[in-house]
Amino acid sequence: MLDGKKTLFSGMQATGTITLGNYLGALKNWLDLDKEYECFYSVVDLHSITVRQDPAELRKRARNLLMLYLAAGLDPEKNCIYYQSHVSAHAELGWILNCFTYMGELNRMTQFKDKAAKHADNINAGLYTYPVLMAADILLFQSDVVPVGADQKQHLEITRDIANRFNAIYGDVFTIPEPYIGKQGAKIMSLQDPTKKMSKSDENPNASIILLDDTDTIIRKFKRAVTDSEAIVRYSDDKPGISNLMTIYSTMTGKTYEEIEREFDGKGYGDFKLAVGEVVANGLKPIQDRFYELSKDKAYVDGIIKNNAEKANYYARKTLRKVQKKVGFPEMPR
């Protein structure tokens, strides 16, 4: 707990521009959390290098992600928005926690198996110990709550296990984080395969709406979205394509599925796809405009990066010093 508020931590990887799914499923729902929580939002670039990255491209994407956080409406005065690589305590605590994590626990991590299958030529130790660094991310700020999707539940569970193990040996060092249970973000699926989650790493460019896509691109992608042959706008589990489009339209407009079904009664999929494309393009335009404004104001963005890194380092070092003392590392003489 910091300044009388519970602490919340979350972050996104700096690999590729975030999608409509990232925005509606997570980022949009972060905007009001600073009223209740002391929030730390990281651009998790340390995690990004488990897969080979072009250095210049990684720097560009990391900055773009941070600017998208800001453009979407996160206030840098009320939220700590920072690069993970600017806070060395992430890596330092990660190493210590490696020594309190069992091989059997890491062997059970399904995400490692998935990523190893995709990157068979680069199955590195960082990919294997990724969950321990994620645990360090969370525990470093004594996080009370962490917003997690279904694919991250395992990582929060191992974080809790590591923290409980450390506390059992050394006393109450770490806050045991709970999953954030609040307004659930919409789960947005691929436009080309609606049985899979929309992903920025999808090789099919028509599968995802990128937050910086222009209006023509957005509408073209929605026109090409996979649906079914029934041509009736109706929400149903056996209509994953049209149901996904209805979820997007509902989230952007606030309309219920019943209202959407009435609105498009007697109309075909062509009309509906166009309407979804237009409402998404219009909804993203203010974010895009703000992003391009920020990209021209280097001094302002650099100031946010510097100030927020200092704040993150201050709180991170407090936890790290406590941990170092507990495990027996000598203090630096003053």
Is 60 designated active site? no
Closest CA to 97 of 178, 161, 2: 161
Choose the catalytic residue: 5, 28, 183, 200. 200
Q: In the block, which residue shows the tokens 């946010």?
A: 304
- Which amino acid, 216? D
Query: How is residue 9 written in tokens?
Result: 């931590």
Question: DSSP of 76-105, one letter per residue?
Answer: TTTEEEEEGGG-THHHHHHHHHHTTS-HHH
- From CA 293, how far away is CA 296, in angstroms rounded? 5
Is 28 designated active site? no
69 within 8 A of 41, measured Cβ to Cβ: yes
Helix or strand or coil: residue 73? coil
Closest CA to 17 of 192, 214, 200, 288: 200
**CB burial of residue 328 (10 Å; 0-12, 13-18, 19+):** exposed
Is 115 designated active site? yes
Phi-psi region of 159 (alpha: psi -120 to 50; beta: other; left: phi over 0): alpha
Helix or strand or coil: residue 32? coil
Phi-psi region of 154 (alpha: psi -120 to 50; beta: other; left: phi over 0): alpha
Choose the catalytic residue: 35, 113, 118, 197. 197
Choose the catalytic residue: 28, 115, 221, 239. 115
239 within 8 A of 228, measured Cβ to Cβ: yes
Report, as residue numbers or ranges, the catalytic residues. Answer: 115, 197, 200
